Amino acid sequence: MKLLTHNMLACHIKGVKNNFPFMIEVTKVETCDADYDPEFLRHMFPRIVWPAFLQGAEQMGCRDGLPEAATEEMLQEDTFLKKFHHALLEVRLQEGALVCPETGRKFPVSKGIPNLLLTEDEC
């Protein structure tokens, strides 16, 4: 699971209010190659909730070099784009869990795939 995915998810257990972002429990993180595509990054940037992205990056260990606040103007800078690209697409949680900020329910991530199915009592 990459931070791109992490930023799109929220805990959907019935009745949970404080559902975003998931805390990331890390067992194993890997870096992988991803296509560097500025057009794609410019498309995704406005859809990213930046504080959640920073929190995830902190937990995944790739916070380095990412600004506290990011603006659309930064998308013109190659240095920013490369750092954004790296944290968004090249760092992958292989094993671990997504933890609901309200209930503490853990959604396991194994082989890079988060399991987001709810049990019968949660939906």
Q: Is 101 in the site for other proteins (CB under 8 A)?
A: no
Closer to other proteins by Cβ: residue 47 or 69: 47
Q: What are phi and psi of 56, to 5 degrees?
A: -65, -40
CA-nearest of 88, 37, 24, 80 to 62 is 88
Q: Is 10 in the site for other proteins (CB under 8 A)?
A: yes
Q: How far apart are CA 114 and CA 95, in angstroms?
A: 9
Among 39, 68, 73, 78, interactor with other proteins by CB under 8 A: 39
Task: Give, as ranges, the residues between 12 and 31 that touch other proteins (CB under 8 A).
Answer: 12, 14, 19-20
CA-nearest of 110, 77, 100 to 20 is 100
Task: Give, as ranges, the residues between 78 and 97 that touch other proteins (CB under 8 A).
Answer: 89
Q: Is 37 in the site for other proteins (CB under 8 A)?
A: yes
CB within 8 Å of 7: residues ≥ 6 apart: 21, 47, 48, 49, 52, 53, 56
Q: Which residues form the interface with other proteins (CB under 8 A)?
A: 1-2, 4-5, 7-12, 14, 19-20, 32-35, 37, 39-40, 43-44, 47, 49, 89, 108, 110-121, 123
